[in-house]
């Protein structure tokens, strides 16, 4: 199984542990990742809000890169997924936009045909449950708060997901031995999107403060996400708010732990919020499983 | 493609069907913390008012919950994004749109909205990744072509008018 | 051949966009045209007289009127020409209003189009053939499908006029949804008190044959002569011996263990049961899906119901019966179901136990319901109650764009009843728009507001649970502020959807459905109880969401149409039907596959198809598709259509 790997700015340039975890976990699961000269997705909330047509064009450039090799493009961030999937969906339906995009791409001798599909890593995982179980070395007995990321779920007429009661992420963490703990407003936005995190940091912090309060009440070991952008917001905001102490892990890092990779190889130690307790628990679980 | 107007945005997003039930505002995670009243945005757009001039438009996190739940299937979030485009086109940059401008500058110079810092580059090599990832900025020719693409896009024109 | 052509102004409707003198000038002198005239309103008395006089004076044998849609006035003008002695099927209508003046903006082009349309009609009229309608005898009895308030009213009205009426109900008792209600808005009449006497009247009426626990299986035939097959499901109880004493239900080993459909799953029943105490007929029924003996072949040593029944009414060997009846007319009163709010996941129905639907709350209110009429929800009396309107109504996302018409008022009624039972309760109604359109409704709305029910404009966004308490989020759209309310009971104002039985009944009768999936009436204004199938009428919520008074009114309307039909000895059958040349037919059966009405029948002996004249609706599908050209559609023969087309191309 071969996929063009779209790591996205945050996993590459801010939380490289997520990129590393993805490479390690993919190799275990037999997924070959191919790298291309991608640019930023670009972000749905910022660039699309400035000029939607430019956003479509830059997204289409990214999509076009693996077309010649016929590799579908795999993302690990709800934001990148939202952009690439939405661009793919829009251009499939709108001939005028397709012409606009290709007119611009032709200036750099590129063409977008629409032959490959963007997928989120979690969708691949949902079809590899047996492989996940086979590769699991440690049963992670964590209580986790899962966070899907808005642009993975919505708009549902484009994504095809059930935005009010999604299950995939809950099911995958439970395969690893974790309990997905229900908490108030578990599906609401983390407050990072739409340019709000950078443009209106105070508002963004208010939104995530509420979210973190609800998660704290649920008494979990960590937050598990499938969006590098939300990941960044969850980790950084706890420091900005000078409150909370809830470790933040991307799903792929959690998979990495369950597959037996060392936490330092997964970059857990580079988070702002300490992951020490998580690591301790993993070590305990490892000793359990070796008995 | 034709120039968008508030009217064409209303029609494309089916805002004419709005019954002002407020399910959008009630669902909005941002509106709980600020002055954004999604229902009002749609109503003002429908009345042909210059909604794109208001700052609340930029409080939306584009989480799509309003659009998802709208009983009349109004494409609410898509409309907000189009209205923001219109604001930018008409040079109504609210103060909070300043920072995203930096993201555009980053995008132009590095191909990434969030560029790589020397610190993270170091972390990359510590955890066993390439010091610098392969991307649009790795190869000078690729970056040049990427910048050429950007140069001709409307995104950069708006950047300049500000 | 002498064709008279009459161009109607339709006031300004046509004359404003079509230059009528120019049309008259262009048509006068055309082949076969003996006279061409114009008039303000051709459908008025003077207009019709003009046609009659010309037929008599000039001996016209064909008439063309260029005016509105034939749907509106073709019957008018056919009668006009028949008055003057002309065969009504030699009349032709050109539609220069809906298909011309109303849809165009350029007068010159519209005028040219009108000329072409009239010329085309003249060409067709010249080839029309006189047709004779045939007479069909009428069976003087009626079938009413559905025993809710609409079906009950229709059956009583027809039976009271002296005609035999079969009332078929799929449940063990008649009464329908209304029997589930506690009180009715806005008068607060007790539903059972006004419904039960009518149910008893039905049971006792000498002209009504009541078939409960029965389903219509097959219908063929047409107006005046429908043949209906009805399946009577086995009750496993002898109706002649059962006294309705209820000892069997008390004795049943499964007593209180099966959720009661009538109580919307809140109350429990046994395997032998009556749905509610006032059931008509008061006969017990064994539910074969749950009965231990019927399902597993064993119920202890012996079934307790059988042991205790003194008259010996239990009949485990009872089999289903099939009854054939002939009727002249049919009333469809299949009613509605409550919208299932499971798909509106943001409201948590099915997830949070204290979120319930309007109909479920109705059973809580009922003195014969699961809580004996006490407002106890899952063991406690709620103090903070939120009603949410428009759940499953005015909602395009789930495919129900229509207003269900009754929810605003049943919410008001239920809020009132709760306030009466729990005076210190905080009750809030989150509404989208208040629709209090019926007699006394607005006054009732004012009354409940005076009682302290808080109305806040704005549809609820979502319901969530925290520490065992529910919270409802919404925007108060009048304040322009989002807010949250705690609630220990959330009532969803669920809307109305067609009964699932509408699918099978609709297919059997070839009825059309409107976009909302309810049955389509023949005309939205002027024929609201008719269907496009002659002899089949609609009553109650089967045609669209309705409150009780509207259902009853429509049922009486449907009944009067049935009676109008049944008092006739004979009716005229439309001669515009397909005819087959059996000598040319090769028996390929293409027509049989295409016909929606089962009119073509294959004759096994002759190896050809024959057409059942009584059933054929004249849609023309068969004639158009017949590969051997053996089928001709009267009034729409190939040469008539071709002549019409040639004039416009």
- List pLDDT tens digits, range C307-328: 999 999 999 999 999 999 999 9
Separation of alpha carbons C403 and C544, rounded Å: 10
Question: What's the rounded Cα separation, in Å, for the pair C279 and C368?
Answer: 12
Give the pair of three-digit tokens for residue C462.
């979502």
SS3 C225: strand
Over residues C246-299, the pLDDT tens digits come to 999 999 999 999 999 999 999 999 999 999 999 999 999 999 999 999 999 999
Instruction: Tell me how close the Cα of B4 comes to any Cα of chain A, in angstroms.
Output: 12
A118-127 mean pLDDT: 97
pLDDT number for residue B162: 40
A118-120 and A179-180 strand pairing: unpaired
Helices (H), C384-539: 407-421, 441-450, 501-509
Distance, in Å, from the CA atom of C148 to the CA atom of C316, rounded to the nearest integer, reads 29
Decide if C464 and A164 are in contact by the 8 Å CB cutoff.
no
Q: In this complex, do B113 and A46 lie within 8 Å of one another by their Cβ atoms?
A: yes
| Overall average pLDDT of the A136-146 stretch | 96
Residue in chain A lying closest to C351 (CA)? A165
For residue C455, list its beta bridge partners. C429
Q: Which residue of C has its CA nearest to B37?
A: C480
From first CA to last CA, the distance across chain C in angstroms is: 24
Instruction: Give the helix ranges, DSSP H, for C207-303.
Output: 247-251, 292-296
- Are the Cβ atoms of A189 and B135 closer than 8 angstroms? no
Within 8 A of A162 by CB-CB distance, chain C residues are 345
| β-pairing verdict for C134-137 and C62-67 | unpaired
pLDDT at B95: 67
So what's the ipTM on this one?
A: 0.94
At B156 the pLDDT is 87
Query: Is A164 in contact with C466 (Cβ distance < 8 A)?
Result: no
**Is the pLDDT assigned to residue C601 strictly greater than 70?**
yes
Residues in C closer than 8 angstroms to A165, CB to CB, are: 345
Residue of C195, C284, C280, C279 lying closest to C236 (CA atoms): C284
List all chains that touch chain A, counting a touch as 3 or more CB pairs closer than 8 Å.
B, C
CB neighbours (10 Å) of residue C321?
12
Nearest-by-Cβ selection for B26 from C397, C433, C460: C460
Looking at the complex, report in whole angstroms how far the Cα of residue C345 sits from the nearest Cα belonging to chain A: 6
Phi, psi of C475 (to 5 degrees): -110, 130
CB contact under 8 A, A196 and B61: yes
- Could you tell me where the DSSP H helices lie in A43-115? 47-50, 52-65, 78-93, 95-105
Residues of B in contact with A151 (CB under 8 A): 62, 64
Separation of alpha carbons C451 and C435, rounded Å:
19
Model confidence at B161, in pLDDT bands (50, 70, 90)?
Answer: very low
C-alpha angle with apex C467: C462 to C470, nearest 5 degrees?
Answer: 30
Give the pLDDT band of residue B96 (cuts 50, 70, 90). Answer: low
Q: What is the mean pLDDT of residues C582-611?
A: 92
Q: What pLDDT is attached to residue C617?
A: 85
- Return the pLDDT at C51: 97
Contact A223, A145 (CB under 8 A): yes
| Confidence (pLDDT) at A93 | 95
Q: Rounded to an integer, what is the distance from CA B138 to the centroid of its chain? A: 27
CB contact under 8 A, B81 and A52: yes
**C336-351 residue pLDDT tens:** 999 999 999 999 999 9
Residues listed for chain B: 162
What average pLDDT does range C176-189 have in this prediction?
Answer: 97
Confidence of residue A287 (pLDDT cuts 50, 70, 90): confident
Cross-chain Cβ contact C477/B39 below 8 Å: yes
Instruction: Identify residues of C whose CB sits under 8 angstroms from chain A CBs.
Output: 345-346, 464, 466
The stretches of C128-213 forming alpha helices (DSSP H) are 149-160, 191-204
- For the cut 50, the answer to whether the pLDDT of residue A148 exceeds it is yes
Rounded to the nearest angstrom, the minimum Cα separation between C491 and chain A is 20
Contact C473 B73 (CB under 8 A): no
pLDDT of residue C72: 84
How far apart CA C645 and CA C649 sit, in angstroms, is 7
- Is the minimum CB–CB distance between A161 and chain B shorter than 8 Å? no
| Nearest Cα to Cα of residue C371 among C272, C278, C448, C260 | C260
Size of interface A-C (CB pairs under 8 A): 7
Nearest CA distance, A121 vs chain B (angstrom): 19
Q: What is the mean pLDDT of residues A279-285?
A: 92
CB of A270 within 8 Å of any CB in chain C?
no
**Are the C-beta atoms of C559 and C189 separated by less than 8 Å?**
no
Distance CA C618, CA C138 (A): 21
Buried (b) or exposed (e) across C94-128, using 16+ Cβ within 10 A?
A: bbbbeebbeebeeeeebbbbbbbbbbbbbbbbbbb
Nearest residue to A193 (alpha-carbon basis) of A270, A75, A80 = A80
Separation CA C125–CA C3 (nearest Å): 8
Q: Read out DSSP for C545-607? A: ---HHHHHHHHHHHHHHHHHHHT-SEEEEPS--EEE-TTT-----HHHHH-TT--EEEETTTT
Name every residue whose Cβ is closer than 8 Å to that of residue C198 and which is 6 or more positions away in sequence: C149, C152, C153, C156
Chain-wide mean pLDDT for chain C?
A: 96
Q: How far is A185 from chain C (nearest CA, A)?
A: 8
Q: What is the pLDDT of residues C65-98, one digit of tens each?
A: 999 999 889 999 999 999 999 999 999 999 999 9
Instruction: Give partners of C (≥3 CB pairs < 8 A).
Output: A, B
How many CB pairs below 8 Å do chains B and C form together?
A: 68
| Residues of chain B contacting residue C396, judged by C-beta atoms under 8 Å apart | 17, 71-73
Q: How far apart are CA C391 and CA C341, in angstroms?
A: 7
Q: Which two tokens stand for residue C434?
A: 């208040």
Residue A49, φ and ψ in degrees, nearest 5: -75, -25
Number of Cβ atoms within 10 Å of the Cβ of B26: 30
Name the 3-class secondary structure at A183: coil
Give the integer Cα–Cα distance in Å for B24 and C271: 47
Choose among A164, A165, A184: nearest Cβ to C466. A184
**Cβ–Cβ below 8 Å for C464 and A184:** yes
* 3-state class (DSSP) for residue B120: helix
């Amino acid at each position: 199984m071969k996929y063009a790997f779209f790591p996205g700015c945050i996993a590459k340039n801010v939380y490289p542990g997520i990129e590393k975890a993805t490479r390690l976990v993919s190799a275990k699961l037999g997924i070959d990742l191919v790298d291309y000269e991608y640019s930023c997705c670009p972000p749905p909330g910022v660039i699309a809000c400035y000029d939607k047509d430019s956003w479509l064009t830059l997204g289409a450039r990214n999509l076009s890169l693996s077309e010649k090799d016929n590799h579908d493009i795999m993302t690990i961030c709800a934001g990148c997924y939202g952009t690439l999937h939405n661009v793919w969906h829009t251009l499939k339906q709108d001939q005028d936009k397709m012409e606009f995009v290709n007119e611009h791409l032709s200036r750099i001798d590129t063409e977008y045909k629409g032959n490959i599909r963007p997928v989120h890593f979690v969708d691949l995982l949902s079809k590899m449950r047996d492989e996940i179980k086979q590769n699991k070395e440690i049963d992670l007995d964590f209580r986790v708060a899962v966070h899907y990321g808005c642009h993975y779920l919505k708009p549902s007429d484009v994504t095809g997901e059930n935005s009010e009661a999604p299950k995939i992420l809950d099911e995958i963490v439970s395969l690893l031995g974790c309990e997905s703990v229900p908490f108030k407003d578990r599906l609401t936005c983390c407050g990072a999107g739409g340019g709000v995190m950078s443009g209106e940091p105070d508002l963004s912090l208010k939104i995530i403060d509420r979210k973190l309060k609800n998660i704290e009440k649920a008494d979990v070991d960590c937050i598990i996400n499938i969006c590098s952008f939300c990941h960044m917001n969850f980790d950084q905001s706890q420091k900005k708010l000078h409150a909370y102490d809830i470790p933040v892990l991307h799903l792929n890092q959690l998979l990495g732990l369950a597959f037996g990779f060392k936490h330092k190889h997964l970059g857990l130690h580079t988070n702002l919020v300490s992951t020490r307790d998580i690591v301790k628990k993993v070590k305990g679980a490892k000793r359990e499983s070796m008995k | 493609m034709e120039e968008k107007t508030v009217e064409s945005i209303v029609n494309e997003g089916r805002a004419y069907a709005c019954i002002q039930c407020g399910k959008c505002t009630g669902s909005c995670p941002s509106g709980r913390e600020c002055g954004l009243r999604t229902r009002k945005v749609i109503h003002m757009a429908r009345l042909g008012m210059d909604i794109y001039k208001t700052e609340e438009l930029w409080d939306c996190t584009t989480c799509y919950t309003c659009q998802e739940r709208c009983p009349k299937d109004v494409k609410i979030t898509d409309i907000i994004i189009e209205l923001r485009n219109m604001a930018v086109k008409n040079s109504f940059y609210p103060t909070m749109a300043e920072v995203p401008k930096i993201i555009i500058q980053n995008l132009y110079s590095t191909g990434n909205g969030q560029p790589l810092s020397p610190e993270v580059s170091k972390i990359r090599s510590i955890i066993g990744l390439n010091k610098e990832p392969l991307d649009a900025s790795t190869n000078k020719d690729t970056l040049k072509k990427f910048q050429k693409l950007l140069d001709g896009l409307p995104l950069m024109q708006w950047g300049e008018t500000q | 051949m002498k064709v008279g052509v009459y161009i109607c102004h339709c006031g300004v409707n046509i004359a404003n966009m079509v230059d009528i003198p120019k049309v008259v000038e262009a048509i006068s002198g055309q082949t076969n045209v003996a006279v061409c005239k114009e008039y303000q309103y051709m459908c008025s008395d003077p207009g019709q007289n003009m046609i009659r006089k010309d037929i008599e004076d000039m001996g016209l044998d064909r008439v063309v009127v260029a005016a509105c849609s034939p749907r509106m006035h073709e019957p008018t003008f056919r009668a006009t020409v028949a008055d003057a002695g002309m065969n009504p099927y030699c009349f032709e209508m050109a539609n220069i209003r809906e298909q011309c003046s109303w849809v165009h903006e350029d007068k010159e082009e519209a005028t040219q189009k009108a000329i072409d349309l009239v010329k085309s009609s003249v060409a067709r009229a010249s080839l029309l053939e006189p047709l004779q309608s045939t007479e069909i005898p009428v069976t003087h009895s009626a079938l009413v499908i559905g025993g809710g308030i609409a079906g009950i009213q229709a059956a009583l009205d027809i039976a009271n006029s002296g005609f035999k009426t079969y009332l078929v109900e799929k449940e063990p008792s008649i009464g329908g949804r209304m029997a589930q209600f506690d009180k009715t808005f806005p008068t607060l009449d007790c539903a059972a008190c006004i419904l039960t006497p009518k149910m008893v009247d039905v049971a006792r009426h000498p002209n009504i044959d009541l078939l409960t626990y029965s389903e219509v299986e097959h219908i063929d035939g047409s107006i005046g002569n429908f043949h209906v097959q009805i399946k009577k499901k086995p009750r496993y109880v002898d109706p002649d011996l059962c006294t309705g004493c209820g000892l069997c239900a008390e004795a049943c080993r499964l007593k209180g263990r099966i959720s009661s459909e009538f109580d919307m799953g809140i109350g429990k029943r046994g395997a032998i049961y009556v749905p509610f105490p006032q059931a008509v007929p008061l006969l017990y029924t064994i539910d074969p899906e749950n009965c231990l003996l019927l399902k597993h072949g064993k119920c202890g040593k012996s079934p307790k119901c059988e042991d205790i029944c003194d008259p010996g009414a239990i009949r485990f060997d009872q089999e289903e019966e099939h009854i054939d009846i002939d009727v002249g007319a049919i009333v469809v009163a299949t009613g509605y179901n409550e919208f299932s709010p499971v798909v509106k996941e943001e409201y948590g129905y099915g997830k949070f136990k204290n979120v319930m639907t309007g109909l479920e709350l109705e059973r809580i209110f009922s003195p014969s319901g699961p809580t004996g009429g006490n407002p106890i929800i899952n063991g406690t009396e709620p103090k903070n109650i939120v009603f949410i309107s428009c759940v499953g109504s005015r909602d395009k996302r789930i495919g129900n764009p229509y207003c269900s018409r009754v929810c605003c008022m049943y919410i008001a009624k239920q809020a009132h009843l709760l306030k009466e039972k729990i005076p210190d309760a905080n009750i809030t109604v989150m509404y989208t728009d208040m629709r209090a359109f019926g007699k006394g409704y607005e006054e009732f709305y004012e009354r409940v507001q005076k009682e302290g029910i808080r109305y806040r404009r704005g549809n609820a966004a979502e319901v969530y649970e925290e520490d065992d308490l529910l919270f409802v989020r919404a925007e108060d759209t009048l304040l322009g502020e989002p807010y949250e309310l705690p609630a220990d009971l959330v009532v969803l104002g669920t809307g109305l959807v067609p009964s699932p039985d509408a699918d099978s009944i609709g297919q059997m009768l070839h009825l059309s459905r409107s976009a909302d999936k309810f049955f389509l009436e023949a005309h939205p204004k002027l024929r609201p109880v008719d269907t496009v199938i002659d002899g089949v009428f609609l009553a109650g919520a089967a045609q669209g969401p309705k409150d009780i008074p509207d259902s009853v009114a429509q049922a009486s309307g449907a009944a009067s149409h049935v009676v109008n039909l049944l008092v006739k000895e004979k009716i005229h059958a439309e001669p515009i039907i397909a005819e087959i040349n059996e000598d040319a037919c090769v028996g390929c059966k293409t027509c049989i596959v295409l016909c929606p009405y089962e009119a073509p029948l294959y004759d096994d002996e002759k190896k050809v198809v024959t057409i059942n004249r009584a059933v054929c609706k004249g849609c023309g599908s068969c004639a158009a598709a017949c590969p051997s050209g053996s089928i001709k559609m009267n009034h729409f023969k190939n040469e008539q259509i071709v002549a019409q087309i040639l004039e416009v191309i």
